[in-house]
Chain A
Amino acid sequence: MEGSKAESLKFVIVGHVDHGKSTLIGRLLFDTKSLPDDKIEEIKKISKKLNKETEFAFLLDHLQEEREQGITIDTTQTFFKDKAKNKEYVIIDAPGHVEFIKNMITGASQADAGILIIDVTEGIKEQTKRHANILSMLGIKQVIVALNKMDLADYKEEIFRQVKRKAEEFLGSLDIKPKYYIPVSALKGENIVNKSEKMRWYEGPTILEALDAFETNDLSKKEILLFPVQDIYEINGKTIYVGRIESGKIRVGQKLKVLPSGEITEVKTIEKFNEIVKESQAGENIGITLANSLSIERGNVFCESGKEPILTNEILANIFWMEEKELTEGNTLFFKCATQEVPAEIKEIKKRIDSSTLRLLSADARKLKNLEIGEVIIETRNPVVITKFNQIPELGRFVLMLNKEICAGGIII
C-alpha cells in the first residue's frame, strides 16, 4: 500500500469575510464522515456554551478568540478523505479579514488548487477580488468558484447566473479561468458532497466531484538541472554539498557548471545516509561530493553547461507588499530565492496597483504601501541565479525581507 499511495491534493479556500469558508470546510469534513466522534461532541458542547447553533466553523477556528468572535484569524490545514474514491485531500483555510492577509498568503502559497467562495446575496466584495488576485499571483491555475448561500436566494438559477456572470468578467481580467462554477449551500450541505435536490437545474459536479478532477502540482519535470547549494558539511574527511534538486536530474560522473563562478566540475558521489545512489531527481534532498576542490558556498547553483538559467543582478518582477511599513526605492532589503540570500534594493517601481480593485494607482511610483502590488526592478548586490516564474517556478519566485521579516512575495516576469 505505501509507496503506491498518491499524494493528497492541497486546496485553499479563499473569499471575502463571512462568505462561508469555514462553514464549507466543516461541511466537507462532516459529509465525508472525516470527523472523529469526540470532535463532534466537543464542537456541540462549545457551541452550546457560546449560545450558538452547532457551528462547523469551530472545527478549524480553534483559537479562543476565533470561536468567541466567530472569525478566522490564522490559516489552518486539515485532512479529509473521500472514502468512496479512496482519495485524500488537505484543506487549507485562509482568513478573510484584510488584517490577516499574511496568514492567507502563507496558506495559499502551499496549495495546488483553490476554491473561491462568493456569497450570492452579497456578490463580489473587496477580499473576493484581492484573494483572487493573490491566487493569480501565486500561480494557482486550478480554480473552482463556489457560489454560496443559495439557500438564502431560494435556490434560484437566475441569481446563480447573475453572480456567475459578474465573477467571470472579473476573473477574466486576472487571467483566471475557473474550471467550475458551482451553486452551493455550505450550511445546508447542498452540492458540497451530495448533489442538491433543490437545484435540479444545475447539472455540473458537486464540490467534491470537482476537486477529484484536479491534480497535485508536481515538481518541475523540466530537463534542465538546477541544484542550489543549501549547506556544506565536512563529514569523515569528505566535503559534502547538500541541497534539494529543484529541477532535472543529477548522476555520478556528470559534468557540472557552478554559478555564479562559471567553474566546471564533476559529480564524484551522490550521498544519502545508508544508501548507495547513482542518480537523483527533482525533489530529492541529497549531498554530492566533487572530483576537484572548488570554492563553493551556499546559494551557488549547480547546472549544466549550455542549459544555464539566468545570471543577473537586475530582476523584473511583480511583488505583493504585505508590511505596514511602506516600501520605498532605496530601502535595503534581502532577496531570497531558493537558497540564495542577497542584499538588494528596489531600483524602480514601474507600476503601483491596488490589490482589491486592480486599479493602476500610479506608473513610475516612489513607494508601495501595505497590500499593494508593484511591478518593480530589483537590483541585487551580487548576481543571482533565476528563471522566469512560468519556466521553473522553484527559481522564479522569491521573498523580500526587511528587518528579518518576510515583507513581500514576488514572481519573476
Chain B
Amino acid sequence: MDYLSKLENKSIYIIREAYYQFRNVAMLWSIGKDSTTLLWLIRKAFFGKIPFPIVHLDTTYKFKEIYEFRDKYAKKWNLNLIIAKNEEALKRGIGPEKGKFVCCTELKTNNLKKLIAKYKFKALYLAIRRDEHGIRAKERFFSPRDSQFVWDYKNQPPELWDQYKTKAKTEEHLRIHPLLEWREIDVWEYIKRENIPIVSLYFAKNGKRYRSIGCEPCCNPILSQADTLDKIIEELQTTSVSERSGRAQDKEADYMMQKLRSLGYM
C-alpha cells in the first residue's frame, strides 16, 4: 500500500472509532485545506452519508471566498451544517482591534463552549496536524478536555496500538485528531490525488498566495508564483519558511499558542 493510502486508512480508522465510541459527535470545519481534507475522509468513512453535523465556527471575519466555498459545498455534499457565532461577544464589539488574544478566545474558544453547551457533543473532530506547531506535535489522537475546556498537557492519556481514550465522567469532551500524522505536503498530495476542491485563496494571484487561511485581518499572504497544485507541492519541497509564519496567533508572544490551546483553542 502506498504512503498516502496508509495515511488515509489510518485516518478513516480513527474517524470510525470515535463515532463508535461517542455517537454524539460533530466536526469542526474551518473550510481550510486541512479540514476540507478531513471532511473528504469523513465522507469516505461513512460512504457519503455523514451521520453527524459539520460545524463552522464563524468569527464573521473570514474571507468572502471562504463563505462562498462553504455554502457551495455544504449544499453539494448534503451536509448537516451548523453555523455557530458568538453573537453576544460580537454585540459587545469584540473583534481583532480589541487584541488578538481576546478576539480568538471570544470568537473561537468561547463560541465553541457555547456550541457544546447547547448540543452536548461528546467529541469533536478537528484537522490539526503535528507538523503545524510544536504544541500541536504533543497532541494525542483522542485528547480529553475538562469542563473548563482545559487541555491538561502535562497528564495526557497513553495511546498505544490504536487503542484510545474513552470518555470519563470528569471530562467535558474529547478532541479527535485524525490528521495528526499528516504533513502539509501530504495534505496537498492527497488533495491532488483525490481531486478535492479547495478555496481559491491558496493559489497564487499577482505573485501572492495564502499558505494558511483563517480570519482575514490575521492572515498574511506569502510571496509565491504557485498557482497550481503541482506548483504548490514543488514550492513546499524547497521552502525554508514554516507554514504558519503568516498566522498572527503563533507569533505575538512566545507561548501564545500554548496559552490559547490550554484554554480550549483549536
Q: Cβ of A235: which chain B residues have Cβ within 8 Å of it?
A: 46-47, 49
The reply to whether B17 and A287 contact each other, CB–CB distance below 8 Å, is no
Interface membership of chain A positions 29-69, coded 1 if the CB is closer than 8 angstroms to chain B and 0 otherwise: 00000001111000000100100000000011011110000
> Which stretch (B1-9, B67-75, B110-118, B212-220) binds chain A?
B1-9
Q: Which A-B residue pairs are the 4 nearest by beta carbons?
A: A62-B134, A109-B160, A36-B242, A102-B158
Check: B231 CB closer than 8 A to any chain A CB. no
Given contacts A36-B242, A62-B135, contact A285 B16 (CB under 8 A): yes
Q: Which residue of A lies closest to B20 (CB)?
A: A231
Check: A322 CB closer than 8 A to any chain B CB. yes
Q: Mind listing 23 A-B residue pairs with CB under 8 Å? A: A3-B193, A6-B3, A36-B239, A36-B241, A39-B242, A62-B133, A62-B137, A64-B255, A74-B153, A75-B138, A79-B183, A109-B160, A230-B16, A235-B46, A244-B9, A273-B44, A281-B1, A285-B45, A399-B160, A399-B163, A404-B165, A404-B168, A409-B158
| Sample of 19 further A-B pairs with CB below 8 A, known A1-B189, A59-B134, A406-B160 | A2-B4, A36-B241, A39-B242, A62-B133, A62-B137, A62-B258, A74-B153, A76-B138, A78-B130, A102-B158, A106-B140, A106-B156, A109-B161, A233-B46, A273-B43, A283-B9, A404-B165, A406-B157, A406-B158
Contact partner of B12 (CB less than 8 A), chosen from A6, A106, A285, is: A285
The reply to whether A230 and B17 contact each other, CB–CB distance below 8 Å, is yes
Complexed CA–CA distance, A389 and B160 (Å): 15
- Footprint of B on A, CB under 8 Å? 1-8, 36-39, 46, 49, 59-60, 62-65, 73-79, 102-103, 105-106, 109-110, 219, 230-231, 233, 235-236, 240, 242, 244, 271-274, 281, 283-285, 287, 298, 322, 336, 338, 397-399, 401, 403-406, 409
Dominant secondary structure of chain A at its interface with chain B:
mixed
Q: Which residue of A lies closest to B40 (CB)?
A: A273
Q: Cβ of A271: which chain B residues have Cβ within 8 Å of it?
A: 47
Contact partner of A63 (CB less than 8 A), chosen from B135, B183, B239, is: B135
Q: Cβ of A106: which chain B residues have Cβ within 8 Å of it?
A: 140, 156, 158-160
The reply to whether A401 and B166 contact each other, CB–CB distance below 8 Å, is yes
Q: Which residue of A lies closest to B259 (CB)?
A: A64
Q: Cβ of B160: which chain A residues have Cβ within 8 Å of it?
A: 105-106, 109-110, 399, 406, 409
Check: B48 CB closer than 8 A to any chain A CB. yes
The reply to whether A287 and B163 contact each other, CB–CB distance below 8 Å, is no
Given contacts A62-B138, A230-B17, contact A4 B258 (CB under 8 A): no
Complexed CA–CA distance, A200 and B46 (Å): 59
The reply to whether A65 and B154 contact each other, CB–CB distance below 8 Å, is yes
Contact partner of B154 (CB less than 8 A), chosen from A4, A5, A73, A105, is: A73
Q: Cβ of A102: which chain B residues have Cβ within 8 Å of it?
A: 156-158
Check: B35 CB closer than 8 A to any chain A CB. no
Q: Which residue of B lies closest to A230 (CB)?
A: B16
Q: Cβ of A79: which chain B residues have Cβ within 8 Å of it?
A: 131, 183
Complexed CA–CA distance, A273 and B19 (Å): 17
Check: B167 CB closer than 8 A to any chain A CB. yes
Check: B97 CB closer than 8 A to any chain A CB. no
Contact partner of A404 (CB less than 8 A), chosen from B20, B158, B167, is: B167
The reply to whether B48 and A230 contact each other, CB–CB distance below 8 Å, is no
Q: Which residue of A lies closest to B46 (CB)?
A: A233
Given contacts A283-B6, A298-B20, contact A74 B156 (CB under 8 A): yes
The reply to whether A2 and B9 contact each other, CB–CB distance below 8 Å, is no
Q: What distance in Å separates the Cβ of B243 from its nearest Cβ neighbour in chain A? A: 9
The reply to whether A240 and B47 contact each other, CB–CB distance below 8 Å, is yes
Complexed CA–CA distance, A219 and B5 (Å): 13
Complexed CA–CA distance, A60 and B135 (Å): 9
Q: Cβ of A78: which chain B residues have Cβ within 8 Å of it?
A: 130-131, 137
Complexed CA–CA distance, A78 and B47 (Å): 32
The reply to whether B163 and A231 contact each other, CB–CB distance below 8 Å, is no
The reply to whether B137 and A77 contact each other, CB–CB distance below 8 Å, is yes
Check: B13 CB closer than 8 A to any chain A CB. yes
